[in-house]
């Protein structure tokens, strides 16, 4: 039985590990938050007291943590995976959304001790992780991708985009298309409400046409219901926007729409709503009465 070592047992990590356990993988988990480790034991994740212990047990090591600094600490920190001395011949898969410079640095460190690495950011959220319907964007060598692919194919649609870093570059494209659309959906909701439209019917009405999107079907209804319980955090969306604009600055790319969306999420987080779902961005747009 293949053993997966999974690092990061938050919202996404919980979805991943529930899916992996349902598929009868043995999963050994580690998180800095002991409460998350205890919760994951309820669905069969075995606790690893350290990254060294996890590395010794795992055939494939996966991580899904919040920031690039956290990714670097897990891999190259004093008590990290590289220092464990247990990576030779093993594959490390980073599901996190990570800065490309960090991705290249940790890949080199893993390969230097005989391991393999793939950057594999995802889109779809915790629910898609649990149901195995994620979009998985892969960067890495053919060897690294081949080693992880039997697992990845059961977590969603995994597409090998090219060399190390191309997974993260594809995730930037995803964020332009997806996260900017949060703000567009918020504008559309306020427009519908202003003219007396039953806003809850919009996703059904527009589904056959060109306005349809995953955001319209999944995020817009949360805005209608004012359901801002986090499936993902607004602060993480802002982090991804900041990462996007830092990456594109070096290429002198003009991204005016995503720049405006980033400003809205800065306002949302600065206003104290960083722990809410990204759908809460609609709160920034005032609701007006029927103008018809």
Q: List, by residue number, the catalytic residues.
A: 171
By three-state DSSP, how is residue 161 classified? strand
Q: Where is 189: in which H helix or E strand?
A: helix 166-194
Tell me how far apart the alpha carbons of residues 117 and 145 are, in angstroms, rounded to a whole number.
8
Phi, psi of 22 (to 5 degrees): -60, -25
Buried b (16+ CB within 10 A) or exposed e, 179-210: bbbbbbbbebbbebbeeeeebeebbeebeeee
N-terminal to C-terminal alpha carbon distance within the chain: 63
DSSP assigned state of 67: S
User: Could you tell me which residues come within 8 angstroms of residue 8 by beta carbon, excluding any fewer than 6 positions away?
Assistant: 31, 63, 64, 65, 66, 70, 96
- Among 194, 13, 182, 176, smallest CA distance to 93 is for 13
With beta carbons less than 8 A apart as the criterion, state whether 40 and 11 touch: no
């Amino acid at each position: 039985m293949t053993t997966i070592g999974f690092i990061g047992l938050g919202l996404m990590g919980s979805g991943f590990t529930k899916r992996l356990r349902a598929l009868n993988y043995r999963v050994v988990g580690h998180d800095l938050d002991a409460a998350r480790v205890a919760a994951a034991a309820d669905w069969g994740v075995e606790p690893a007291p350290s990254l060294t212990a996890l590395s010794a047990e795992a055939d494939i090591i996966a991580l899904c943590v919040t920031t690039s600094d956290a990714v670097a600490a897990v891999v190259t920190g004093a008590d990290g995976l590289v220092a464990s001395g247990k990576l030779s011949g093993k594959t490390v898969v980073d599901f996190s959304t990570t800065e490309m410079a960090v991705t290249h640095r940790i890949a080199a460190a893993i390969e230097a001790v005989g391991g393999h690495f793939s950057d594999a950011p995802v889109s779809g959220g915790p629910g898609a992780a649990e149901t195995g319907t994620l979009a998985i964007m892969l960067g890495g060598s053919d060897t690294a991708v081949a080693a992880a692919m039997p697992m990845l194919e059961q977590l969603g649609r995994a597409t090998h985009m090219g060399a190390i870093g191309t997974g993260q570059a594809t995730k930037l494209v995803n964020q332009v298309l997806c996260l900017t659309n949060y703000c567009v959906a918020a504008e559309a909701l306020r427009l519908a409400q202003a003219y007396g439209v039953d806003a809850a019917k919009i996703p059904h009405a527009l589904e056959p046409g060109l306005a349809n999107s995953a955001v319209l079907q999944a995020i817009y209804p949360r805005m209608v219901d004012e359901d801002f319980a986090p499936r993902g955090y607004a602060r993480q969306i802002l982090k991804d926007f900041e990462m996007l604009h830092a990456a594109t600055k070096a290429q002198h790319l003009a991204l005016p729409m995503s720049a405006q969306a980033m400003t809205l999420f800065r306002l949302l987080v600065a206003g104290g709503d960083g722990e809410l779902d990204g759908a809460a961005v609609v709160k920034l747009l005032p609701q007006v009465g029927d103008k018809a």
